[in-house]
Structure 1
Amino acid sequence: MSQLRCVLLVDDDPTTNYLNRKLLVKMGIADGVLTALNGQEALAAVNTHCYEDSPTCPDLIFLDVNMPLMNGFEFLAAYRQLPPAQQCATVMVMLTTSLHPRDVQRAHHLPVSSFLTKPLTAEKVTAILQAHFAAAADTLPG
């Protein structure tokens, strides 16, 4: 089966992480789903799970913009400083409640594949998979 190895959900709202995790598990798109409540936790997860040929390194990261301790933009800046072997995530998606033009413009200068508004839906996940992971999208039901 052509699933993603892992997806990392980064949002300071535990309920949002819970619902998004439930959606991704129901869709069966990844072997694993990790969650983090802020950029610091997300960076720690990458440091723990991302090394050469790691089966638990996320292929896809859904990243909130506004979070305490380390926001989405700060996470992306720190992520870019990691050794290349740890930068396993091939697709970064900013998932936010606002599409403020300043944030969208700022994201264009970072390794962000998409900028989506919440909530995460099956349609949005499918669109991301079709755009960036054709093999995984082909395994989704109907």
Structure 2
Amino acid sequence: MLVDDNYIDNFVTRRLLESSQFAENIIVTESPTEAIEQLGKGEIKPDVIFLDIRMPLMSGFEFLEAYDKLNIDKTGTKIFLLSSSFDPTDIKRSTGNKYITHFVHKPLTHKILEELP
């Protein structure tokens, strides 16, 4: 699952994920609230979520707060923060969150994908 409000970033990241055969099914949403709804209803259970930090209606960190409140099975889902932010506060905040597997700087590349935990 890719959650990012930027259409161009989503297009580029999706193409990279497809070309690297990273996943069989890639769900893309520009709305973090829509992603939370889908997850909460059990409509999807992604193995991986690439999550942008800076989005206008709900930040990536607000998404994580809403995600934490969902009564769903979260085991096996890795969340990678995908951001262009170099703000040390964002990076520090990401290391303290139990759901975040890794902080990834945009743009995502084949090399970064290969090195993901």
Q: Say whether the fold is shared (TM-score over 0.5).
A: yes
Structure 2 unmatched ranges of 5 or more:
none
Q: Tell whether 2:57 aligns with 1:69.
A: yes
**Relative to structure 1, is the Cα distance of residues 29 and 122 closer, same or farther in structure 2, using a 3 angstrom cutoff?**
same
Q: Counterpart in 1 of 2:68?
A: 80
Partner residue in 1 for 2:4: 11
Equivalences for 1:107-118 in 2 at 5 Å? 107-110=94-97, 111-118=99-106
Mapped contact 2:40–2:71 kept (Cα < 8 A):
no
Equivalent position amino acid for 2:101 in 1: S
Answering whether residue 33 of structure 2 is matched by residue 46 of structure 1, we say no
What SS does structure 2 have at the residue aligned with 1:65? Answer: coil
Q: Does 1:126 align with 2:114?
A: yes
User: Aligned partner of 1:79: which letter?
Assistant: Y
Please identify the structure whose Cα radius of gyration is greater: 1
**TM-score normalised by the chain length of structure 2:** 0.89
Question: Relative to structure 2, which stretch is displaced further, 37-46 or 57-66?
Answer: 37-46
Identical positions, percent: 34
* Number of matched pairs: 116
Change (3 A) 1:11 1:89: farther
Equivalent residue, structure 1, for 2:84? 97
TM-score (norm 1): 0.74
